[in-house]
Structure 1
Amino acid sequence: MCALESYPGKEEELKEFVENELSEMLIFYDDDMQNNLFGERGKNPKVLLNAHLDSYGAEHVGKNWMFEVIYDEKTGRIKGNGVRPIGADDRCGIAIILALLRFTDYQFKFLFTTSCEDEHQGVKFFIENHPEFFKGVNLVIGLDRKGFGDVVCSYGGKDVCFKNECIDKVIDIGKSLEIPAKKEKSPHVADIRFIADKFGISSFCLSVGYYNPHTTSEYAVLGEIVKTYEWMCKILECVQ
């Protein structure tokens, strides 16, 4: 996925890749005029998982560059050749959600948003035009945070998680997997903040193993992505 172009307003190439994956898995999904992808598995799932399709920094490079994605076996890092960011923000989140759909039977809704890096236009459009999608959802988990082990419960000075016992449980699960799980705040804003604001649904974001986002030195750690996938499996097992 990191080799595919996907910047705000131009997510079609990555969107097609994700659609092909969903179709191959026979997963029901739909899209809208903003190119958001959404769907669900199971009967009336209560949990919604979110990641964004667009990345930041490649839109100014154009087509006439030689871009390469490299996996370094010694460090376990996925990285580029310094031409542009690899878009691990937020392809790591997308990869985890697709893996959950492919390798588990957990029930959940999913929402792949567009234009997150452009004033969150995708999720804003989706909220206004598909409010029925959030009916019955009582927990939103964003897979969109740098580093490893963070559970982000506050964005821009505003809490988005209204169930402290839920966060305590998530952290305990992480620590049981030897993940350095900890509650964090972010001065920035993620897509889930808009969902929490509009519908009052308790939400949080997990780190997904990418570093130096929005820079040409961006990289992802494969082992941390896998560990976060395992974390999500345990979380979903608890909330089914």
Structure 2
Amino acid sequence: MSKNKYKITELEEILRMKQMTLKSHLEAKLEAAGYEPKSEDGFLYAKGTFPVLLVAHMDTVHEECVQKIKYTGAIMSSPQGIGGDDRCGIYAILQIIKEYHCSVLFTEDEEKGCIGAEKFAVSDYIVNNDINYIIEIDRRGTNDCVFYSCDNPDFEEFIESTGYFKTAWGSVSDISTIAPALGVAAVNLSSGYFDEHTTRETINVEALLSTIEEAKKILALPCEEPFEYIEAAYGGYGNWWRDYDEEASPISTDYTTAYTDDCTYIFSKEEKAKKFFHIYLQTYSGNEICCEILAINEMEAIGMALSHYQYYSACDIIDIKSQ
């Protein structure tokens, strides 16, 4: 039998590991790459000499570890759920730092509500960070770039200038917490996984490898000063409602519209006060996941949670708590 040209042993090893085993593995990898990694409760951080922070999360939603991996051409899958979200990002960063000694942040428990990112955001590591911008690699698909509530047009133009990534919308990820804490702009790039949060999840190896090379092209661009984190005027969905407004029928200047599987909700842009909501979802395996959302009200929080967990609906919500 001929060798599968898409088979990547290092990626397979990462896909098979439990979160804490992976954390120890990555600590050793970073040490071997010349870093002095700091393993803390909730995250693994390593300061680099190149002024960009690379981010990915170490957990997956799947209850079982990957045992069997199937290849259909360039497409990887597993009966246990392949876990490309976000093991693709982990693998990509390990390849990128071979050429660019960026700072690195690997977080725990993103799928439970960006818990590791929250812990990093209040740590001493955010002081004197010398970061020009942040790249997270934790987005489905092939060539999306998502900025969430970071609304810096110069940074968006910078990311899109290589001609590969195109601005898309999203709800929340680790950089939604990390970027405002550091005060620098951030983007989440596609990493080649599809149908995340289900056992149907796949990884397109070609798309993953393309993201790695395209991310390097961004890092090669001249950048002398940090890109400022500029919070979108109405937060939450960030550039999502703006993009939808541009591509669809006009939306009233007084309201933002959010869509879920079942309903359409309209929120007044005059509502300024936000608070944290914990949205608890019943998983297909009978367990529950928690998504922490900063939102104006409960309806907005629901819309954002269901936008992020796209294979769940309002029927899967079992509890909502606010702080």
State the one-letter code of the partner of 1:48. Answer: L
Give the structure 1 partner of residue 288 of structure 2.
none
**Cα 1:107–1:19 shift into 2, 3 Å:** closer
Matched, 1:4 2:17: yes
Give the structure 2 partner of residue 8 of structure 1.
none
Matched, 1:144 2:138: yes
Alignment of 1:35-184 (within 5 A): 36-42=43-49, 45-58=50-63, 61=64, 67-72=67-72, 74=73, 76-80=74-78, 82=79, 84-102=80-98, 104=99, 106-133=100-127, 135-154=129-148, 159-162=149-152, 164-173=153-162, 175=163, 179=164, 181-184=165-168
State the one-letter code of the partner of 1:26. Answer: G
Q: What is the number of residues matched between the two proteins?
A: 210
Question: How much does 1:16 deviate?
Answer: 1.9
Question: How much does 1:144 deviate?
Answer: 0.6
SS of corresponding position for 1:38: strand
Q: Which runs of 5+ in 1 are unaligned?
A: 6-10
Matched, 1:215 2:192: no
Question: How much does 1:26 deviate?
Answer: 3.0
CA offsets 1:166-225 (integer angstroms, 9 cap, x no match): 32232231x2xxx4x211111x21000112233331111100100011100111111111
TM norm structure 1: 0.81
Considering Cα pairs closer than 8 Å and 6+ residues apart, tell me whether 1 or 2 has the greater RCO.
1
Moved more, 128-137 or 198-207: 128-137
For 2:136 and 2:56, locate their aligned partners in 1 and report how far apart those are by CA, in whole Å: 6
RMSD of aligned C-alpha atoms?
Answer: 1.9
CA offsets 1:144-182 (integer angstroms, 9 cap, x no match): 10001001012xxxx2142x2232232231x2xxx4x21
For 1:48 and 1:161, locate their aligned partners in 2 and report how far apart those are by CA, in whole Å: 18
**Cα 1:29–1:168 shift into 2, 3 Å:** same
Question: How much does 1:54 deviate?
Answer: 0.6
Give the structure 1 partner of residue 295 of structure 2.
none
**Cα 1:107–1:101 shift into 2, 3 Å:** closer
State the one-letter code of the partner of 2:56. Answer: A
For 2:113 and 2:21, locate their aligned partners in 1 and report how far apart those are by CA, in whole Å: 21
What is the aligned-residue identity percentage?
27
SS of corresponding position for 2:147: strand
Q: Is the 8 A contact 1:161 1:203 kept in 2?
A: no
Q: Is the 8 A contact 1:151 1:206 kept in 2?
A: yes
State the one-letter code of the partner of 2:146. Answer: V
SS of corresponding position for 1:126: helix
For 1:54 and 1:217, locate their aligned partners in 2 and report how far apart those are by CA, in whole Å: 17
Q: Which runs of 5+ in 2 are unaligned?
A: 1-13, 224-323
**Cα 1:161–1:230 shift into 2, 3 Å:** farther
**Cα 1:232–1:24 shift into 2, 3 Å:** same
